[in-house]
Amino acid sequence: MNMASKPRNYSSEFKANVVLEIVSGQRSVSEVSRAHKVHTSVINRWRNEFLNQAHLAFGGKGGGHESVELIAELERMVGRLTMELAVAKKLQTYGI
């Protein structure tokens, strides 16, 4: 009876260390695969994800276009609501 193996969960730290071994040139993907008993396709997926997300490590300005748009939209909303509140307070003062 051949049972399918259960998918293994690896920590983010483990994945990063495996990828860094490859990216730094210490070992090849095949060597790392054998050493850690992780299939090469899994390691390649981790490496691609790592490289595609590398820009996030530096944070700061430049990225996050969606965040900038959201902040601008929220600032406009705060401005509009502030004006509406001021008008409502004046109307209340005059009993309208």
CA 2 vs. chain centroid, Å, equals 38
The pTM of this model reads 0.56
Instruction: For the chain, give the percent of residues with pLDDT over 90.
Output: 42
Which residues span the domain enclosing 23?
10-60
Same domain flag for 51 and 83: no
Same domain flag for 56 and 69: no
pLDDT-based confidence at residue 1 (cuts at 50, 70, 90) = very low
**10 is written with which tokens?**
């690896």
**Average pLDDT value over all residues in the chain:** 86
Average of per-residue pLDDT across 10-14: 93
Same domain flag for 14 and 53: yes
User: Which pLDDT tens digit goes with each residue over 66-76?
Assistant: 777 888 888 88
Q: Which amino acid is at 48?
A: N
- 30-47: b or e for each residue (b if 16 or more CB lie within 10 Å)? eebbeeeebeeeebeebb
